[in-house]
């Protein structure tokens, strides 16, 4: 592999820390405006420069999303937003609108511009035209096959970088351009406020038989004809690299820090492994986060985004986050309840997880206790191996 970039989501400060700690080369995050994830914590005028400083100090690049399709009134606010991004020191802007691209090149020419997957780039003509307008990278449409990506790479300037999604949720609409959420409840997906109605259950109602709901398919709980499986290309990174992809993008700015940590760690391990073959533990890692059934999308041709017939698969959860380790005692902040006698897994950056048997739980206020039950409480556990701050501990969910 030719040292491609691992690009991880950072929807909040905690997710930023997780992405950096577990191996991202770059992160993408949003400001208070113009981002496609309105529900995230995001970063304001005060925290954005701090986030950039934090990432840069650890050798990680920061890309700022500006990838909504702004109205005329919103467009008038863009100059201030772009200048704020420049002052914060971001490494690139991610845009979807040609007008925004042009404005960015005029106002902040020192910042490279990446064109978002929202632009629906499916051929070399569009990619080349965007390069002529000033784009340094394009994020390809998720509907492309590896063969189509190779053709694009062959016919565009070598300086133009290609980025593609390798992991995360898939949208049944073309490259995420969807009006369903806006039609059903007034929340515009193209401004980052999608309510995900494609994940809802649907049944058929005949006009003259109100209240009688008929299943569209054979699934007894209803039809999920719009609910796509999740993308996972962990075992195909070499093929993506050989097709010309220089940046592997993980979806999930709205997902948890645990998701960011586990998935980033798995892809980092695969990219660092000889030949790009993921170690067995990395293949397990992506199955220990909340996810739908995995698929390879359109990369190997049709049918692409298979409908998924149920909700998330979720078998693990974060139990605690490490604060410090000293003299065989691990101090942690509790995230979910755990007990003496539990077996936890320590998520080690750039490495396989370690097993930790919880022999005892110590509460600084009460001494030895049977369980860690105080939300966000501080506890101490016997631990035979050194642990660094912010490493996560997880436990299997008992059903």
User: Do 188 and 199 contact (CB within 8 A), yes or no?
Assistant: no
- β-bridge pairing 247-250 and 161-168: parallel
Query: Is a pLDDT exceeding 90 seen at residue 270?
Result: yes
For the stretch 338-361, pLDDT in tens is 999 999 999 999 999 999 999 999
DSSP, collapsed to helix, strand or coil, labels residue 238 as: helix
Residue 398: its pLDDT value, please?
A: 85
Mean pLDDT of 214-243: 78
Residue 308: its pLDDT value, please?
A: 64
Residue 173: its pLDDT value, please?
A: 66
Residue 282: its pLDDT value, please?
A: 98
* Class of residue 355 by CB neighbours under 10 A (exposed 0-12, middle 13-18, buried 19+): exposed
Residue 305: its pLDDT value, please?
A: 66
Mean pLDDT of 383-398: 96
DSSP, collapsed to helix, strand or coil, labels residue 87 as: helix
For the stretch 318-329, pLDDT in tens is 999 999 999 999
For the stretch 55-75, pLDDT in tens is 999 999 999 999 888 889 889
- Select the more confidently predicted residue: 176 or 102: 102
- Select the more confidently predicted residue: 174 or 251: 251
**Percent of the chain at pLDDT above 70?**
87
* Class of residue 287 by CB neighbours under 10 A (exposed 0-12, middle 13-18, buried 19+): middle
182 is written with which tokens?
Answer: 């806006």
Residue 327: its pLDDT value, please?
A: 93
Residue 1: its pLDDT value, please?
A: 42
Q: Which of 10-19, 202-211, 260-269, 348-357 has the lowest mean pLDDT?
A: 202-211
Mean pLDDT in the chain? 90
Residue 71: its pLDDT value, please?
A: 86
């Amino acid at each position: 592999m030719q040292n491609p970039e691992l690009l991880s989501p950072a929807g909040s400060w905690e997710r930023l820390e997780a992405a950096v700690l577990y191996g991202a080369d770059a992160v993408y995050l949003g400001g208070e405006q113009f981002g496609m994830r309105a529900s995230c914590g995001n970063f304001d005028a005060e925290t954005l420069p701090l986030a950039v400083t934090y990432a840069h100090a650890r050798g990680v690049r920061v890309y700022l999303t500006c990838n909504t399709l702004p109205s005329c009134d919103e467009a008038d606010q863009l100059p201030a937003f772009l200048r704020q991004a420049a002052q914060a020191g971001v490494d690139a802007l991610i845009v979807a609108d040609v007008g925004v691209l042009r404005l960015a090149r005029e106002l902040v020419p020192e910042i490279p511009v990446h064109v978002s997957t929202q632009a629906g780039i499916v051929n070399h003509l569009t990619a080349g035209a965007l390069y002529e307008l000033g784009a340094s990278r394009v994020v390809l449409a998720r509907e492309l096959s590896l063969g189509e990506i190779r053709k694009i790479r062959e016919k565009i300037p070598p300086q133009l970088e290609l980025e593609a999604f390798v992991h995360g949720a898939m949208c049944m609409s073309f490259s995420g351009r969807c009006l369903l959420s806006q039609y059903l409840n007034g929340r515009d997906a193209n401004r980052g406020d999608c309510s995900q109605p494609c994940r809802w259950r649907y049944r058929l109602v005949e006009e003259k038989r109100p209240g009688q709901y008929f299943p569209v398919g054979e699934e007894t709980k209803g039809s999920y004809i719009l609910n796509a499986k999740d993308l996972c290309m962990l075992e195909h990174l070499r093929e993506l690299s050989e097709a010309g992809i220089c940046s592997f993008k993980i979806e999930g700015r709205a997902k948890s820090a645990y998701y960011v940590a586990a998935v980033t760690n798995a892809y980092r391990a695969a990219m660092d492994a000889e030949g790009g073959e993921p170690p067995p533990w990395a293949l397990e890692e992506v199955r220990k986060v909340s996810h739908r059934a995995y698929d390879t999308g359109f990369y190997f041709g049709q049918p692409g985004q298979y409908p998924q017939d149920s909700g998330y698969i979720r078998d693990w959860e974060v139990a605690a986050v490490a604060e410090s380790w000293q003299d065989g005692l691990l101090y942690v902040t509790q995230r979910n309840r755990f007990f003496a006698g539990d077996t936890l897994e320590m998520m080690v950056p750039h490495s396989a997880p370690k097993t930790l048997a919880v022999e005892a739980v110590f509460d600084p206020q009460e001494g030895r206790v049977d369980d860690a039950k105080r939300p966000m409480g501080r506890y101490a556990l016997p631990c035979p191996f050194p642990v660094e701050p912010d490493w996560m501990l997880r436990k299997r969910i008992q059903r």
